[in-house]
Amino acid sequence: LTLLGSLVIVVSSKTGSMILNAADGVLGLVWKVLTWLSHLPHTVWYQQIPSAWIFITAIVGVIFLLFPVGLPGRYLGLIWLLPLGLYVPNNPQGGEVWLSLLDVGQGLSAVVQTEKHVLVFDAGAHLSDNFDMGNSTVNPFLHTLHTKKIDMLVISHGDNDHIGGANAILKEFPVASIKTSVPEKFVSHADLCLQGMAWEWDGVNFSFLYPSNDNLHLNNNSSCVLLISNGNHTILLTGDIEKLAEEELVKNQKSYLPADVLVAPHHGSKTSAVNSFIAAVHPRDVLFPVGYRNKYHFPHDTVIKKYSDLHSVAYDTVHSGAIQYKIYANGDLMTPLLYRQVHKHYWNN
């Protein structure tokens, strides 16, 4: 219709305009159908391409399939595409736990994997109606893991940089359980992440050390604190707790605090980092989830020095990008994989 209208309008502007208006109406109808189709489940196929050879075989397969109809060997392209379709990423084995601290700018989101379970701790920020870290970072990462469902979503507290991306995650994946200190902020059912709650997945132990019922409604100091251990090594996720909560943990949970990997309380703010808490945790590595040139100047130099004095190795998401640890059942704790080192690009320098 568009081509016909463009030709006819040269002879008759009135008739040509009528044909072009008809083309506009048909396009509007088609657009509505396409919009409806785009919201159907499984409309988008997410596929991780883990290595160059799989990418090359996929390209060869596409070239074969694009050969003219009737050309011998055209459907050999399907065989060349098999590595792409059959690839399954590595997963932890029984008793192993993998931690991926994602780079969500000034915010927090971490993904914890065991052999058959996935836990997401916080969801990054919602920055505008068209952009949030749940859609832009967390969901794509989960798709690269071939995640079909999330066994538990933990939202430590109600600040935007921790809860903002939660709705995007809930829309994208079925979530079996939500634990949080702010259940009232969820339309779907959510439970409190109370001290003493514990469970075991695939030989890995999980427990909430904080808050108690007495510590709710304290904003940052109500943050869920999650301890993860496979019996050999321990990870401690602390949300945005500050000095009050740290002192409470030292007082009531000191024997559980030692950890090999600590995600620093409140992004390394001066409002946290009580000396007794840092000494009790005494992490091998401390991770700071922070944004580039963030307005809060996190992590603060005095906080970094406190961990340095204990010979803890510090990493932050500004310089490292996403940070991944793999804790193996035999007791090995590997050196972290730093995204900006593994995937070097000139814009990461």
DSSP summary character for residue 175 = B
For residue 233, the model assigns a pLDDT of 95
Asked whether the beta carbons of 112 and 228 are under 8 A apart, the reply is yes
pLDDT digits (tens, 9 = 90+) for 221-236: 999 999 999 999 999 9
DSSP summary character for residue 39 = T
Please give the residue that has the higher pLDDT: either 90 or 106: 106
Report the candidate in 145, 155, 148, 203 with the shortest Cα–Cα distance to residue 172. Answer: 148
This prediction has a pTM of 0.86
Dihedral of the alpha carbons of 210, 170, 139, 287, in degrees to the nearest 10: -10
Report residue 332's pLDDT band, with 50, 70 and 90 as the boundaries: confident
3-state secondary structure of 226: strand
DSSP summary character for residue 150 = B
pLDDT digits (tens, 9 = 90+) for 268-307: 999 999 999 999 999 999 999 999 999 999 999 999 999 9
pLDDT digits (tens, 9 = 90+) for 160-188: 999 999 999 999 999 999 999 999 999 88
Report the candidate in 103, 151, 163, 164 with the shortest Cα–Cα distance to residue 287. Answer: 103
Q: How many CB atoms lie within 10 A of CB 253?
A: 17
DSSP letters for 262-294? EE-GGGG-TTS--HHHHHHH--SEEEE---TT-
For residue 46, the model assigns a pLDDT of 75
C-alpha–C-alpha distance, residues 275 and 335, integer Å: 26
Report the candidate in 267, 261, 252, 268 with the shortest Cα–Cα distance to residue 212. Answer: 252
For residue 153, the model assigns a pLDDT of 98
Asked whether the beta carbons of 272 and 264 are under 8 A apart, the reply is yes
Asked whether the beta carbons of 92 and 176 are under 8 A apart, the reply is no
Report residue 349's pLDDT band, with 50, 70 and 90 as the boundaries: low
How big, in percent rounded to 5, are the helix, strand and coil portions of the chain?
Answer: 40, 20, 40
DSSP summary character for residue 336 = P
Q: Is 70 exceeded by the pLDDT of residue 239?
A: yes
Residue 296, token pair as written in the block? 């809060």
For residue 348, the model assigns a pLDDT of 67
3-state secondary structure of 258: coil
HSE at residue 216, side-chain half, CA atoms within 13 A, is 12
Please give the residue that has the higher pLDDT: either 87 or 298: 298
For residue 334, the model assigns a pLDDT of 78
